[in-house]
Amino acid sequence: MTAPTTAPPMIKMAGVDKFFGPLHVLKNVNLEVPKGQVVVVLGPSGSGKSTLCRTINRLEPIDSGTIEVDGQPLPAEGKELARLRADVGMVFQSFNLFAHKSIVDNVLLAPVKVRKVPQNEALEHATELLERVGIANQAGKYPAQLSGGQQQRAAIARALAMRPKVMLFDEPTSALDPEMVQEVLDVMTTLAKEGMTMLVVTHEMGFARKAADRVIFMADGEIVEDSTPKEFFSAPKSNRAKDFLGKILTH
C-alpha cells in the first residue's frame, strides 16, 4: 500500500486463463498486489482459489495471460523458475514438511541447497525463525511427532528461511483442530504487521478483518469482488458474495 508508484507490483496477473481439461478454472483473472500488501482470497469451495495461488509460483502452469513476480515474468520450467520460486514462499493446507527430516533440518534444507548459505549461518537463522514461531524446543523432532499447529508453524519458518519477497498461503488452518488455528493465525498476523507481502486463501474471517488490507472474492474462477475488508463484510456488492457471507456467518 505504501510502495512508491514507480515500483513494480509484487504480483501481477493479467488476462490469466487456466483449464483442467474442459473445466475453465481461472477466467480472465487480473490482479495486482503491491509490495507490502496483505490480500485475503475468499470464495466457495471449487471457485479456483488454490489454483490462483498455485499459478503464481507456477506449480500450475497457465493456458493464457501473463504472470509477473516483482516485475519479472514467470520463466518456463528449469533453473530460472527454481530461482524465482526461491523468492516466493508457500504454505500448504497439509503442511508438507519433509517427513524424513527433523524440524530444524526442514528449515535448513533449502537455504543450504538452493541459496548455498553456509551450514552454521543457516542453522543460526533457522533457530531464530523457530523461536519466532514459538517451536524452538521442537527443533530436533520429526514432523510426525508435532501437533498440526506446530507443524504448520514449522512450515511457515521453512518458507521464511528463504527470505522470500512474498508469501502465499493456501488455507493454512483448514487442516487444523480448532484449538490450534489461533497459534498459526498469530504468526501470520505478526508477519503481516512486519510488512510481508501476503496472499492468503482462508476461511478465517477474523484474520481477514484484522490483518488484511484487501479482500478478493472469487466465484467460478472469476474475481467477483475486490475491496477492503470493511467494505466487503459490511456491504458486499454481488449476490454471490452476499450468499457466501450468509452461509459463512451463520456457522
Ligand X SMILES: Nc1ncnc2c1ncn2[C@@H]1O[C@H](COP(=O)(O)OP(=O)(O)O)[C@@H](O)[C@H]1O
List residues near other proteins by CB under 8 A.
57, 59, 77, 79, 82-90, 92, 94, 96-100, 109-110, 113-114, 142, 144, 155, 158-159, 162
Binding mask 95-134 for Mg ion (x = CB under 5 A): ----------------------------------------
- Residue placing its CB nearer to ligand X in the complex, 17 or 70: 17
Contacts of 80 (CB under 8 A, 6+ apart): none
Contacts of 144 (CB under 8 A, 6+ apart): 99
- Cell numbers at residue 34, please? 503491491
Partnered with residue 33 across adjacent β-strands are: 11
- Residue placing its CB nearer to ligand X in the complex, 179 or 243: 243
Under rule CB under 5 A, residue 173 binds Mg ion: no
Count the neighbouring beta carbons within 10 Å of the beta carbon of residue 30: 12
Which part of the chain contacts ligand X (CB under 6 A), choosing from 17-25, 70-78, 117-125, 235-243?
Answer: 17-25
Under rule CB under 6 A, residue 6 binds ligand X: no
3-class secondary structure, 205: helix
- Residue placing its CB nearer to ligand X in the complex, 186 or 220: 220
* Binding test (CB under 6 A) with ligand X, winner from 45, 120, 234, 250: 45
- Cell numbers at residue 112, please? 543450504
3-class secondary structure, 25: strand
